[in-house]
Amino acid sequence: MNDKGEFDLEDFLPYALNQAAETTSRGFSTYYRDRYGMLRTEWRVLFHLGRYGEMTARAICDRAGLHKTKVSRAVAALDGKGLLSRRTDPDDRRHERLALTGRGQGVFSDLVDAARRYDAAISSGFTRHEREVLRDCLSRIARMRPRVPR
């Protein structure tokens, strides 16, 4: 709200969050798109396999909070780029065990390094205290399921 109690869009939290999210997403997606032709879901799936090791698509869905259709398409794309391997579990042939290839691990390393640098670059303008408050607020908001009150 401004001095007169009028409502300005900049003060509306969903708008402010969206502007900040778009700004930061763009800078990073440019990196993985230009270098590896990857989409956001591909980066997230690659990240989970690189960070936590071999797992099924189902496990990625659960851990990453992604729907199975998104994961399915991302896995196919990463496979097409030679970044992951899929092998059917002989004990239950519905499951596919997914793992990064050597190239996939290289891309993972590069992207995690880039992400660290990117995060540091964005955070560098803030004090330690501001960073902590920001991250805490964001994680609490992400766990809400807010509705417009009556």
Partner DNA sequence: TATTGTTATACTCTATAACTATA
Partner DNA sequence: TATAGTTATAGAGTATAACAATA
Residue ranges that bind a copy of itself, judged by CB under 8 A? 6-14, 16-21, 23-25, 27-28, 30-31, 44, 47, 51, 64, 112, 114-123, 125-126, 129-130, 133-149
Question: Which 29-88 residues touch DNA, going by CB under 7 A?
Answer: 29, 33, 39-41, 56-58, 61, 67-73, 75-76
Task: Return all residues near 74 (Cβ < 8 A) that are at least 6 apart.
Answer: 39, 41, 42, 44, 45, 66
By CB under 7 A, tell whether 132 contacts DNA. no
Distance of closest approach, residue 115 Cβ to a copy of itself, in angstroms: 6
Q: Is 88 helix (H, G, I), strand (E, B) or coil?
A: strand
Which of a copy of itself, DNA, none binds 41 (CB below 5-8 Å, type-dependent)? DNA
Q: How far is the CB of 100 from a copy of itself (least distance, A)?
A: 15
* CA atoms of 98 and 80, how far apart (whole Å): 13
| DSSP class per residue in 93-117 | TT-EEEEE-HHHHHHHHHHHHHHHH
Q: What is the CB neighbour count within 10 angstroms for residue 124?
A: 8
To DNA, the closest distance from the beta carbon of 63 in angstroms equals: 12
